[in-house]
Amino acid sequence: MSDLTALSRFMSYALRHAPEAAGLELDGEGWAEVSDLVRGAQAAGHPLTDALLREIVRTSDKQRFRLSDDGRRIRASQGHSVAVDLHLSPVVPPETLFHGTATRFLPSIQAEGLKPGSRQHVHLSDTEETATAVGKRHGRAVVMHVAAGAMHRDGFAFYRSDNGVWLTEHVPPRFLVAPTPDCR
């Protein structure tokens, strides 16, 4: 694992799940001072610098982080298990969205639907390719097709994070279409 990858993972951990790992206090919208994150990461044994942090933000393929307009604050784009309000407005989703998971999770998903687990929202993708990549992180991937348009018409809210991930609170089983196993 590259140094940037390890630093990015620590940043994700601190900004999404455990701000105390870097001695941070996130504000209600999930923002932390860049200087505090750098200082806290260094104190925790991670050689983060301001320049490396900005390189991670700029080059992240998933655009996991967002800097404030003045560049002094940073937050994770989505995926929080700590309570934050990203001030996302509800938007109309496409008819179908996708959720990548591992085959071992299928029985509970088919019984209970998609739940956010420790996060605030269920994460959905607008492409099967992205969902497959997400599912592969957890084992043999399957892609669940989510009838997002029908859910929206039934009153479910959808949001789109700064990095393009679709978010909703829960996907009941009736809105899940049979999964497609990853055959690649």
pTM above 0.75, yes or no: no
As beta bridge partners, residue 67 has 74
The confidence score (pLDDT) of residue 84 equals 73
Task: Look at residue 88 and tell me if it is in a domain.
Answer: no
The confidence score (pLDDT) of residue 46 equals 95
* The token pair that represents 67 in the structure block: 């800097």
d(Cα 41, Cα 35) in Å, to the nearest integer?
Answer: 10
Task: Look at residue 128 and tell me if it is in a domain.
Answer: yes
The confidence score (pLDDT) of residue 52 equals 95
The confidence score (pLDDT) of residue 183 equals 46
Whether residue 118 is found in the same domain as residue 53: no
Mean pLDDT by 10 residues, the chain (184 residues): 84 92 90 95 94 92 87 86 79 95 89 87 90 83 93 96 88 84 50
Q: 38: domain range?
A: 3-76
Selection from 135, 180, 156 nearest residue 93 by Cα: 156
The confidence score (pLDDT) of residue 1 equals 58
Domains: count for the chain: 2
CATH, residue 141:
3.20.170.30
The confidence score (pLDDT) of residue 81 equals 72
Q: Is 10 helix (H, G, I), strand (E, B) or coil?
A: helix
